Structure 1
Amino acid sequence: MVARKSATVNLRLPQTSLSNLARLKDRVERRRPKPKVQPRAPEYYQNLIDQHNETTVKANYADSTKDNLQDIIDKFSRFCAHLPKRRPWRTIILNCSKGTTIAFLIHICEVDRVKKRSTIHQYYLRFKMLFNRENGRHMDTNDAKEALAYMYGPLTRDYDLDITVKEKPVLGVDDLLLLLNHHWARDTSTFPTERHRVQFALILLLLFATGCRPAELVDANKKKKMRRWPGLEDDDICDGDVDDNGFEDAEVGADADFGFDDHDSAVADLGSENDGNGSDDDVAMSDVETELRQFDALCYEDVRLLVVRNPVAGELDLLAMEVKLAHHKGAKRRPKPTIFFFTEVDDPIFCPITHLVSLVIADEAFEAPSLTTAERVFEHKVWGPVVSTPLSWKQEMLKTPIFRQDEKAADGVGTSPTPALTYSQFRDCLNRLGLAAGFLEKLTSYCFRRGTANVVDRTATDAVRDQVMRHNPNSAVYNGAYINERVPFDVLSAVLERPSADGILRMLTHMSLMRDPRAPVHVPDDVLAALPPDPSIVDLEEQRAQLKAGAYRIQGTEVEAEVRRLTAEIGTARTRRRNIISEEYRADYFRRRPLEDIERQNCGQQEDEYIEPVVEHQIPERAQLAELICTHVADITPQDIVARRIHSADHQIAIPI
């Protein structure tokens, strides 16, 4: 056998610095097995058995669930105060009968002035949860059915409850293009920093591309404050949060996804758990870090940016991105992260990678010191016998949220180094964008989620759709909550056996069908002045005036607390009334405008030419970015596509952020 000659290959390993050695040592030490606990005396375990046999371990619900339970406890306590013997609510709910449940629902209708049956149904579900929690068992099936039948029958009829279902608009790619074009080129609203504009556009793209809930990207937790649940404080609770499938008022209806989660299905995962001493193979590299994340939002460690070798020889290598969404609904009870992959998009307005690169360069988050420009990032090549090169982040940036708040600084307003963007800030921007773009329906994050679900349902299997939406397999949540109410199929053409009008049908099934960019965003002052004052607000103002008795300063007086309470209540009432007036005035415009156009056309009048208002951007870089990113260019070379993407990222970086 002829000996094979081979040349010596000099493997060039990366240099190991002292900091890398220290980090390597720390990671090795963290993976050391835990020391075994010495066996305890038999009496110790027998005492544990006796102790837990005599006590009831109640679930430690999430904060939002505790808020909902405390709310129903407060309502039930007020109801119990009207009963003859005025017994504590816990005593009454332990012996709660069918009549007590029905009387409580009637009390809610009378005292809380509920208008919709779906709201009463939510209170009923919370009351059943409270009953289960206090009694350790479910409500009697027959009693629950009769209470539900009373709610859907006499209660709905006697109190004239509204049973209509709110529309669930679906966003399409054309609608997304309208929103992004308006956001970049036509939006006249201002942000504290222009970074907010860039990261807001990236959030919109991720919402549409992943179908995620906003809590998976931004911080949806309530403000850190002293939370107290008087009705829940004396409970013996266990460790670990339990999600209640979300009884939030903002998700009343099928969108809440309640009733479909299988609480016992987690048992199926026990087989994959490590039941022995464990092995190194069962420990993921990301699990060795003990530093806790401060915010439940998308952080740098959840995103991986890669340069992938182009399968076409001679072409530039491509950028790819992995996004791991771990803060899904029920993540604390049953974590199941989902990883999405993104590649470069020719049109930079739709390219999440371009937006991310601009934010990363602005944050100086690349671990490689030389990656300081978009050109170096997009034109990087893969070297060696590998198919990809990861562009890693600095160690101190891994726990940093990508979408962050703005904060005041000595030289003005800048981006905060750590606090994540809150859901309320994102929601306000989203609502404002929908109004400014002229949409009839209110623009919410669920419009994006429903749009993604319907697109994936048409092109992928049910298993992939459920994975994208983070639904349990075969749960039928999509068909009950996310399917487009407007049937995306030309049934008439099918039964008549004629060609279908797919182009028109596509336009008819999405939100932009009723869009009117001329729709007013604010109510004119003369209209506000012509409306009569709200009697309830006038009454509150009179009460405050009587307490103040003409005095300007109330600090330190006996009436200070009551005056401040009335002032806060007046402010809340004014805001609520102003929002109602704005919504009704805008809805009235969409009703009146078509009628006026019809009458003017039939009277022989000429159409008024609509001229888009000229928007002059004060920041030159933003004007250049709007012109570049909102202009669709066809039939260009791959080199020009990369150059256009680089210029777009450079302009986003150049905007003062």
Structure 2
Amino acid sequence: MSTFEVKGKPRRFWLRRTLKPAAPNSKPSPSRENVSSQPSVSADSFITIIRATKTQLGLLAATNKSFASQYSKNSQLSLVFTSSLGAIQVLAEQLDQLLVLIESTSTGWAAVPAITNDNELAREHPQEQACTAPESFIFSATGASSGSRTYVSKQYEKDIPSESDSDSDSVFDDESDNGSDIDTYTGRADNQNSGYEYYNQLISKYEEEGPTMANRGERTDKMIAAEAAKWQQFCEVIQSDKEVKRSPYELLKRCHAPTFKSYLNWRCNNSRIKKESSIITYWKVLSMFYCNQTKNWVDGGVLFDINNWIPIGLTPLKNLDTSVKDKSGLYVADLDLMLHHHWVLDQEVLAHGRLRVQIALALILAGATSTRPSALIENLRYRDVEFHVFRPHPGGKRARIGMVVRLTKVKRTAGESRPTKYGFHEEGTLLRDPILYMQSLAFADHAFAVLDSSQDIYDLIIPQDTDRIVLPWKPEWFDRFVFREIRGRGCNTYVDVDKALQYGKARNCLIRLGRKLGYQKQLEWYDLRRGSGKKLHEALTKEEADRSMGHTGGSSTYSRFYTTDYREADFQEIVFGSEPQRDIIQLMGRLLRHGAAPRRLSEDDKKAINQD
């Protein structure tokens, strides 16, 4: 009967994946180590194999038992699973007996009655092919019913049936790695030794490096550097020349709450701080500076003390303003009004004509995407913009153009910023068509690789094997900014090729535009973000809207910082069932504007301000 054949049903049992049958009539492969000198290592290794195999057999038996109960109504499948379960149990018993035999010996391998030479082996097993005993003790069960076993020591070769000559599969995996049990486990011991040195070196390395610091953004690092300079000035003030001065680091590491309170008081006395929120921000930045220097958090008791002291002690003492900024929004009607004045009514001569196009494009993109203005104005490059040309509508002749804008410098979350892409199409209202403005800037820069005018785009023919054409940029324009700085004065003004338009200048342009339109509130770019964010949250799911605005999914950031104070709902309609008048409710929620409001200070106003 062939190897592990039980009741005529052959089963493959993988004893060890690293055991590989040798070629017929081959000699034993040399071992890397003298196994006879280390019998205990060999025995322990083989015992480990047997125990691991028993564990796998237990799992296999449980699986077969489950299948047998599941397919109990199918007699054929039930017979197969029952036979397999019997074979597993027989093999498990054989492994138990072998384990007892090996553990009872004191010299590693017990060479119990073995065949003494290859000729006797061939006479007793003429149907089997020779296979090298791989430097270790091996065994084979010649049949479940006979119960006979043959044990061979490492000095001898034993024949086992090959896969081609036997009705059952070999007990060895012919796809396993070369080498023997002893070689494999000795290698693992070597790996353990090398791992011991390697991981202990890592421990020493990480101890020397210390705690890993937060991955903060460039703007945050600038704020921390500015606060560090203020802290150094304060440390010079509080120390006398007669005493031994302590370094700013020593005073900071001390983490003394009274010292921090005195510092915040000093900040109020030596700056134009008028709002409580400003001093809270300075305290947060100082806390980050402490973390950078000491590589540790500010003590919890100190945080508790300072956070309570600012509103209870410092705010009344310095009469700080606790009012919340008006979080009004600019909506589509406001945007159209601003663009119309910007292009039609504004008579002021700007430093450069490009600035007018840049401000208009920034207004449209900021209003459509509700993105943070700094991510758009200071960081948008040509590589982040793609023009896609598609075939005309069925029956049409004019190609369709789309634009993909990819914003990469969005706010970081957990040390990482996730880029966001927005798609734009041609707008029926040219006043707010982002593709028109972007093409104007690109053609003015000669940034397209093969195009000289917008008509060239519409003359393109889309090949049959593709659905679109993506217009390439010239390599030298790939990394240049779209919104760029204006340099010089008078007739010597020019557009800087490499310098991005600063957010402060764009903010001043928006404030000036708001004053000309007669808005009571000083306009901000975030007013556009709040207005478009409201529309996004009404049209999209909360997750999609948060993703578009760059907020962490499921966060309360929008409701805390972007929802307006005005509740745009007709409560009379809701509560009393009155006739709805939603239009007037919406109008009352818009920013107050008066076209006849003065745009500049009068001479009397200027004198009053100078005398104050």
TM class, shorter-chain normalised? 0.5 to 0.7
Distance 1:409 1:76 in 2: 39
Query: 1:531 & 1:214 partners in 2: Cα distance?
Result: 32
Q: 1:590-632, CA deviations, whole angstroms, 9 ceiling, x for partnerless residues?
A: xxxxxxxxxxxxxxxxxxxxxxxxxxxxxxxxxxxxxxxxxxx
Q: Distance in 2 between matches of 1:151 and 1:114?
A: 13
In the other structure, the counterpart of 1:598 is: none
Aligned-residue RMSD, C-alpha: 3.0
Aligned with residue 82 of structure 1, among 238, 247, 254:
238
- Note if 1:69 corresponds to 2:228: no
Cα deviation digits, residues 391-439 of structure 1 (max 9, x gap): 2222332222222233459985443443332223322212211111211
Q: CA deviation at 1:208?
A: 0.7
**Partner amino acid for 2:478?**
L
Report the 3-state secondary structure (helix = DSSP H, G, I; strand = E; otherwise coil) of the residue aligned with 1:69.
helix
In the other structure, the counterpart of 2:417 is 335
The alignment partner of 1:155 has SS state of helix
* Structure 2 unaligned blocks of 5 or more: 1-193
Give the Å deviation of 1:128. Answer: 2.1
8 A contact 1:319–1:343 mirrored in 2:
yes
Q: Please name the residue that 2:294 is paired with.
A: 135
Under a length normalisation based on structure 2, what TM-score does the superposition of the two structures give?
0.62
User: 2:311 is aligned with what amino acid?
Assistant: Y
Over 3 Å counting, the alpha-carbon distance change for 1:90 and 1:518 in structure 2 is same
Could you tell me how far 1:154 is from its partner in structure 2?
A: 2.7
CA distance in structure 2 between the aligned counterparts of 1:71 and 1:477, rounded to whole angstroms = 27
Q: Distance in 2 between matches of 1:114 and 1:306?
A: 50
Q: Structure 1 residues 442-451 or 96-105, which shifts more?
A: 96-105
Identity %: 28
What is the 5 A alignment of 1:306-455? 306-314=388-396, 316-330=398-412, 333-368=415-450, 371-378=451-458, 380-407=460-487, 412-455=492-535
Change (3 A) 1:312 1:337: same
Partner residue of 2:285 out of 102, 116, 126: 126
Once the 2 structures are TM-superposed, how far is the Cα of residue 120 of structure 1 from its aligned partner?
A: 1.7
Using the size of structure 1 for normalisation, the TM-score is 0.58
Pairing of 1:420-499 with structure 2 (within 5 A): 420-499=500-579
1:299 partnered with 2:381 = yes
Per-residue CA deviations over 1:511-534 (Å, capped at 9, x if unaligned) read: 2xx111222222123442455546
Of 208, 213, 219, 2:367 maps to 208
Q: Compared with structure 1, are the counterparts of its residues 109 and 502 closer, same or farther at alpha carbon in structure 2 (3 Å cutoff)?
A: same
State the distance in 2 between where 1:123 and 1:408 align.
Answer: 36
2:255 is equivalent to residue 96 of structure 1? yes
Report the CA distance between 1:503 and its aligned residue: 1.2
Q: Gaps spanning 5+ residues in structure 1: where? A: 1-39, 220-296, 535-657
- Relative to 1, partners in 2 of residues 1:152 and 1:332: Cα closer, same or farther, differing over 3 Å? closer
Amino acid in the other structure paired with 2:342: H
Distance 2:280 2:491 in 1: 52
With over 3 angstroms needed to count, the CA separation of the structure-2 counterparts of 1:426 and 1:88, relative to structure 1, is same
SS in 1 for 2:573: helix
Q: Number of residue pairs matched?
A: 414
C-alpha change, 1:510 and 1:73, in structure 2 (3 Å) is same
Deviation at 1:83, TM superposition (A): 5.4
The structure whose RCO (Cα within 8 Å, separation 6+) is larger is 1
Where do residues 511-590 of structure 1 align in structure 2 (5 Å cutoff)? Answer: 511=591, 514-529=592-607, 533=611
| CA displacement at 1:140 relative to structure 2 | 2.8
Q: Is the 8 A contact 1:407 1:413 kept in 2?
A: yes
Secondary structure at 2:469 match in 1: strand
1:61–1:467 CA distance, 2 compared to 1 (3 A): closer
- Distance between the aligned counterparts of 1:183 and 1:68, measured in 2? 34
Q: Secondary structure at the match of 1:322?
A: strand
* 1:53 alignment partner in structure 2: 207
- Name the counterpart of 2:585: 505
2:496 and 2:330 map into 1 onto residues whose CA distance is 32
Residues 459/415 of structure 1: CA separation in 2 closer, same or farther (3 Å cut): same
Give the match for residue 188 of structure 1: 347
Whole-Å Cα distance in 2 between the matches of residues 424 and 113 of structure 1? Answer: 19
Give the aligned residue type for 2:572. Answer: L
**Pairwise CA distance, 1:118:** 1.1
